[in-house]
Chain A
């Protein structure tokens, strides 16, 4: 029998610290597969965020740097400008990118930096215990919105992709969902395209927003969390290509 699917070598041979059913594991694999397929492992630099995926450098076998909370696009800017032949990507969660790092990502896009940004949106702060994030959906219960997020009290969920897509310095924006086999395959395609653009020298930033499950702080089994992305989350965050 022929092997039709095996773990990529760019993903280190170790177990992750993620909870069972966490979307980060899938997203890590997709990033690793894209790097593997494009043959850029030797010249890729990853920027790890603060959040659950803080240990990214332990899992993806490329040179990585860990940066202060939200500052990944700022450090990535320096990396890319001083090493234009390198492929620089940042991998950030919604607490990191959409909250404390909102200014950094906005201005990296505004300046048209040649970066690839993988934005994992699970609508909650996972690392710190399930608090409300800027991307938390209306009526979503978190530890800091126990009655559900209300637009009057806490504002609306922040649609990062829509905001980024209007900037002239951003060349590609796509939102995908890890809600099943088809969604994962589409996410893989989007992530690979975001890397390809940088390899080809596209004049701007490429961002892929990935709707990802957090079964632990959504307090539901992993299969149900995937269903929630499909049925609930994609209403607040419509999937599809927004630009490029």
Chain B
């Protein structure tokens, strides 16, 4: 996994723009509501490349994007490690 995003779910209004623009389809709308009653977006981080398209269109600026810039130099082992870290948080 070359990238990862986190979403501040309490500020997210679940508009779904990030879901619509994600080229990898790795963001979904959560089935659990936040304190305001919105169903926020939830990152699965599967196949996330850290392109940042979701954060660029987010009207509530709740998305933070991380990217592993050493991706090309990184070994398969490093990639597996990053993937595991993402799953445990997702």
Chain A residues close to B by CB (< 8 Å): 1-8, 11, 15-16, 18-26, 29, 178, 180-181, 184-185, 215, 221-223, 226
Contacts and interface: CB of A to CB of B under 8 A. Distances in A.
Nearest to B36: A15
B67 A25 contact: no
A7 B65 contact: no
B46 interface: no
B52 A5 contact: yes
Nearest to B50: A4
A11 B61 contact: yes
Interface residues of B, number: 33
A20 B13 contact: yes
Nearest to B60: A25
A180 B20 CA distance: 10
B64 A26 contact: no
Contacts of A21: 13, 15-17, 59
Contacts of B3: 1
Given A181-B21, A215-B15, A1 B57 contact: no
B14 A4 contact: no
A5 B53 CA distance: 10
Contacts of B53: 181
Given A3-B65, A20-B16, A26-B59, 15 more contacts: A1-B66, A2-B68, A4-B50, A5-B56, A11-B61, A15-B11, A15-B60, A18-B60, A20-B14, A20-B59, A21-B15, A21-B59, A25-B61, A29-B59, A29-B61
Contact of B56 (A7, A22, A185): A185
B27 interface: no
